Amino acid sequence: MRADIERILIDEEIIEKRLDRMAEEIGRDFPQGNLLAIILLKGALVFAADLLRRVPRQLELECLNVSSYHGGLESSGTVKFLDRSFPEVRGRHVLLLDDILDTGRTLHAVAERLRAEGAQAVHTCVLLAKDRPRDQEVAADYTGFVIGDEFVVGYGLDYRGRYRNLPYVGVLTREAIEREPGA
């Protein structure tokens, strides 16, 4: 797996230090209330697990499975809600967690849905934000790292379903991108 990585963009140690700071900030911003953290599967799973364990306050947890990339390099343009049910969010302060803000479609679509379902406030938190124009006007309230407009994997992010369990964020080799699936 390491052989498929051309370059490590953000290593484990740097991620850990940044998560300490983000968790502190979130703890300060939400001293009390009814915070509900919602993790967007599958990409945000690793990030959220590491971040939320550091947040020094009570919160509740829900997951939403949404998809727009279908494992490839480019957004399909539509955000699909894959769950049969939707969590009860009426009147809640939601902290929405995702791994990466790219075109902005995912965060925008989910935040809209949460508001439509009656959430009192929607706060957004991403590990990575690409430095690029967004298709949807959306900015995260908490951002771990701003990165260039390149395709990255690891720490939850996939290519064709793989590389999510890498402990760092990295850039794939051209060869790994072009390899046939399953090879």
Nearer Cβ to Mg ion (31/77) = 77
State which of residues 46, 102, 142, 153 lies at the interface with ligand PRP (CB under 6 A): 102
Question: What sign for the dihedral angle of Cα 27, 130, 98, 109?
Answer: positive
**Does residue 103 belong to the site contacting ligand PRP (CB under 6 A)?**
yes
- We find the least distance from the C-beta atom of residue 14 to ligand PRP, in angstroms, to be 20
- We find the least distance from the C-beta atom of residue 126 to Mg ion, in angstroms, to be 10
Q: What is the DSSP letter of 64?
A: E
Q: Which residues on adjacent β-strands are paired with residue 104?
A: none
**Does residue 43 belong to the site contacting Mg ion (CB under 5 A)?**
yes
| Per-position x/- string for 36-75, each x denoting binding to ligand PRP as judged by CB under 6 A, each - no binding | ----xxxx-----------------------xxx-----x
User: Rounded distance, CA 10 to CA 100, Å?
Assistant: 13
**Exposure b/e, 1-19, CB count within 10 A at least 16 = b:** eeebbeebbbeeeebeebb
Q: List residues near Mg ion by CB under 5 A.
A: 43
